[in-house]
Structure 1
Amino acid sequence: MSDTSAQRVTVEITDGVADVRLARPEKRNALDPAMFAALVTTGERLRTEPGLRAVVLSGEGPDFCAGLDFGSFQAMRDGQRLSATADLPPGDGPAKATGQRAASVWAQVPVPVIAAITGNALGGGLQVALGADIRIVAPDASLSVLEVKWGLIPDMTGTQVLPELVGRDVAKELTFTGRKVRGEEAVALGLATRVDPDPRKAALELAREIAGRNPHAVRAAKRLLESSGRVDAATQLAAEQTEIGALIGSPNQVEAVTASFEKRAPRFTD
């Protein structure tokens, strides 16, 4: 299956794995209103895609996403915010601003989203990657909370997600300085999950592995891990019991046990 959204983001779905690519390589996949709209539209579509098991998010060409398009910075000098002109589909999450939705929609996709990062993931581009559940980076990838260079702050959910990943003090250092970090340091800090010389290949392999697991268990796990630390302990522990209660004895859970005992690949249904 192949689809193109506003000529900025492409989607191919094979065996439950969505291969999503930012498709503006001649501009380092920079974020302009059309790219923002394409990211949000694609994410909203994947929230309800039948049979979806995992998503890989990457960029065409050498870069993941170099951040805001230069035209946006030029408009800011005149007090304009071009992202606000993006034509977006309705959304129901807490994020309302265009950039926030472009990053947070990946957390709302009910299945795991794996970002494969090569080249530059700067400013808004990094914040889009932070919306993924897992980030696999090339050793020479360059990641930066770059907004301070332009006299700005990270406003695409970065001030919430970044401290959760790297700690409050490291988040402040990265945000105050805008310094760039490479793959190994990104992993050490918590910005990335692991390093691989071919992030997209590794991400697709991981996505296929996840796609072979009980999809209801994977979705439940994502829901629980997304809420962890954002709700009180009693609510989180109660949610655990609700999710496990729904899974135990369900057809896919029985199939997981049966397939394991019979030493064969499981056959799950959605």
Structure 2
Amino acid sequence: MADRVTVHVDGGVADVRLDRPDKLNALDAAMFDALAEAGEGLAADPSVRAVVLSGEGRAFCAGLDVSVAIALGGDSPPPGASARFSRLLDDLTAREPGRITNLVQQVAHVWRELPQPVIAAVHGHALGGGLQIALGADIRIVAPDATLSVLEIRWGLVPDMTGTAALIRLVGEDVAKDLTFTGRMITGTEAARIGLATRVADDPRAAAADLAREIAGNSPDAVRAAKRLFNRVADVDLAGQFRAESRALAGLRGTPNQIEAATAHLERRPPVFTDPA
């Protein structure tokens, strides 16, 4: 896990960092495994009272690694994929054992599942799957010049990492559709204005750490109870929503228009789509 995600705990605050800076923390198969393991491990640690989630280097997370995007469009797992990741490609609608998510959904939803509050500190890019991971946090502090996008439409896909439920909850149906149908880029400042982010800060990680320490100084029983109550109000039939995401993705992957969307994006040319039958 340490070669993709680092976890350090100090004073009740867990500092979790995506650690693939040379690739803008893009989500390859190993990163999916490491993020899920990191979150699941923290959930079982009673000494952790708050979590700060951020990315090393120039970005929070630039989204799917090309190797994963290609694997989603075909049947072969990317190089170095674990058995856990390979099972995902066999059946996107299959759930992780005992969970309402598949693996790619779990790396976003695990932060919402954690009993402790999670604060995402976002700088640089938070695109596609990277944005959906940030949406899994309870609070998002973003740099004013950060770049965020629901980027899946560029690959001919849909938000499939719990993003549909999170977007509706945070920004409302019309804005969620606007962001998803267009894949447009927005700044951290706009993200805070529309409710996608909680607030802006020039140094998101420092601001998140300060907030985490403040939270860690309060009763952990009361903080955990409050998070459970808020999640209970918002989490309406998440299991059904997550399965619907997976069915939609499974129906799109490898289709001519999805392949054309991904190919055109990689080749930096306008796509040429065929009309639906």
Q: TM-score range by the shorter chain?
A: 0.7 to 0.9
1:198 aligned partner: 203
1:54 aligned partner: 50
1:183 aligned partner: 188
Cα distance between partner residues in 2 of 1:193 and 1:118? 14
Cα distance between partner residues in 2 of 1:86 and 1:140? 36
1:69 Cα shift? 0.2
Greater relative CO (CA pairs within 8 A, separation 6+): 2
Equivalent position amino acid for 1:172 in 2: K
In structure 2, the CA distance between the partners of 1:76 and 1:230, relative to structure 1 (3 Å rule), is closer
Cα distance between partner residues in 1 of 2:116 and 2:62? 26
1:92 Cα shift? 3.4
**Residue-pair matches, total:** 227
1:236 aligned partner: none
Find the structure with the greater CA-based Rg: 1
Cα distance between partner residues in 2 of 1:117 and 1:222? 21
1:167 Cα shift? 0.1
Task: Compute the RMSD of aligned alpha carbons.
Answer: 2.0
1:77 Cα shift? 4.1
Cα distance between partner residues in 1 of 2:83 and 2:137? 23
Cα distance between partner residues in 1 of 2:223 and 2:186? 31
In structure 2, the CA distance between the partners of 1:87 and 1:23, relative to structure 1 (3 Å rule), is farther
1:140 aligned partner: 145
Which residues in structure 2 correspond to 1:193-232 (within 5 Å)?
193-230=198-235
Contact in 2 for aligned 1:118/1:141 (Cα 8 Å): yes
2:132 aligned partner: 127
Equivalent position amino acid for 2:197 in 1: A
Contact in 2 for aligned 1:6/1:34 (Cα 8 Å): no
Structure 2: which 5+ runs fail to align? 86-95, 238-277
Cα distance between partner residues in 1 of 2:172 and 2:77? 30
In structure 2, the CA distance between the partners of 1:128 and 1:81, relative to structure 1 (3 Å rule), is farther
Cα distance between partner residues in 1 of 2:36 and 2:15? 16
Of 35, 40, 60, 1:64 maps to 60
Which residues in structure 2 correspond to 1:1-270 (within 5 Å)?
5-80=1-76, 82=78, 85-88=81-84, 92-95=98-101, 97-230=102-235
Equivalent position amino acid for 1:111 in 2: Q
Cα distance between partner residues in 1 of 2:159 and 2:189? 23
Equivalent position amino acid for 1:38 in 2: A
TM-score by length of 1: 0.80
1:98 Cα shift? 1.2
1:257 aligned partner: none
Taking every aligned residue pair, what percent have the same amino acid on both sides? 60
Equivalent position amino acid for 1:142 in 2: T
Structure 1: which 5+ runs fail to align? 233-270
